[in-house]
Amino acid sequence: MMKKLIIIFAIVMGLVVSDDQIYANQTNIIPSIDQTDVVYVSDSVMALVDHINNKVDLVDLITNRVTNISNDTNTILDVSIMKSPQKIILLKKVTEQKISKTVLAYNGNPISKTEIALQNTGGKIKWVAPTGKVNERIMVQSNNSFKLYQYPWIKPSVSYNAKIVDKGYESISVMDWAFEGYPNLAIKYQAQGIMSDDFFVKTVNLYTKNETLFKDFNTDLKLKYTGNNLAIFTSYTYQAVPGNAVRPLTNDSQKIFRLIDNSTGKETFSIKDVFKEEGDLSGWRTELINGQLFVGNLLEHTWSLFSQNGNKILINQDWPENGSTKFLFYNLKTQTAYFLGYSSGEISIITSATK
């Protein structure tokens, strides 16, 4: 009997070790800057959301200290920053009907952790900070359905069907969205046709139900609310595409950034530039972090920086490691730019003095 117990114990331990080894292998995958989101915390601290390894790290740009704040395998849903009081909010998926909310200080020390039951955790979730007499809220998106919840989280206070019907395409799907607070919602769509796909953006006022559809995009894009505006910015690497696909032409001026006024739904400002198509890698990459618009030229390995209102801050700076790094922040006082690199498979903060 004892021999049987020992054998069973050995088998169980073997299974446990195997699972740990599998998880270890998963967490050792080399990260990608294209699969890492940067969340501004302060002028010296950034949160890096590594979607390949499903983890969040706080990085101190001055000391290079890295602090992991996601210590389990539950899927990361959202990372939000509160300014007053200074808190980091981390949402993770526990089950199909439950999420966890961890509140941390800016240094990564945990303050509290709670679990929230929802009807469905959906495909993407966004936490919204309380304002005035309005409690915290959570927006849940599942396919074309958007539902806004608040405590006690039993039923949505606002629902929206984002479906778009256009017979000119085989399918139109919600690909991404931005939501910083009621009532403004921005949605990115991918419309797929025969050997082609297009991108749309729709802005919605969930209170008035006013909608505006923007269809003049020739490449993929990102959305981010900034104050009373929605920022839309694009990145593109020149490549061979089907003849009927609408894509950037090298001699054309490309609209790489635009601002949409939340109250009117109209474009108020844009930035355009021309990028040559040449060699093995050319095109552009943009990032918008804390009001700083980074524009990188993949061919020239240079970058420029603008304010979100279009004011030039820096022009044609050398891009560290020939453009293989990701912009994090530019400190105006010290005239130092910070970039993220993964050349060694680990987080590397690269500083660059500007000229």
Nearest Cα residue to 220 out of 171, 268, 262, 176: 176
pLDDT band at 13 (very low <50, low <70, confident <90, very high): very low
- pLDDT tens, 127-161? 999 988 899 999 999 999 999 999 999 999 999 99
pLDDT band at 17 (very low <50, low <70, confident <90, very high): very low
As a whole number, mean pLDDT of residues 281-296 equals 97
3-state helix, strand, coil in the chain (%, to 5): 10, 50, 40
Rounded Cα distance, 317 and 127, in Å? 36
What's the confidence (pLDDT) of residue 6? 40
DSSP H or E run through 174: strand 171-181
What domains can be seen in the chain, in order of their start residue? 33-117 (2.40.10), 226-354 (no CATH)
Strands (E), 239-353: 254-261, 267-273, 283-289, 292-297, 302-307, 312-318, 326-331, 336-341, 348-353
Nearest Cα residue to 107 out of 47, 39, 38: 47
CB 93 within 8 A of CB 117: no
What's the confidence (pLDDT) of residue 20? 35
What's the confidence (pLDDT) of residue 243? 66
CB atoms within 10 A of CB 188: 21
As a whole number, mean pLDDT of residues 105-122 equals 95
What does the mean pLDDT of the chain come to? 90
What's the confidence (pLDDT) of residue 175? 97
pTM for the model stands at 0.89
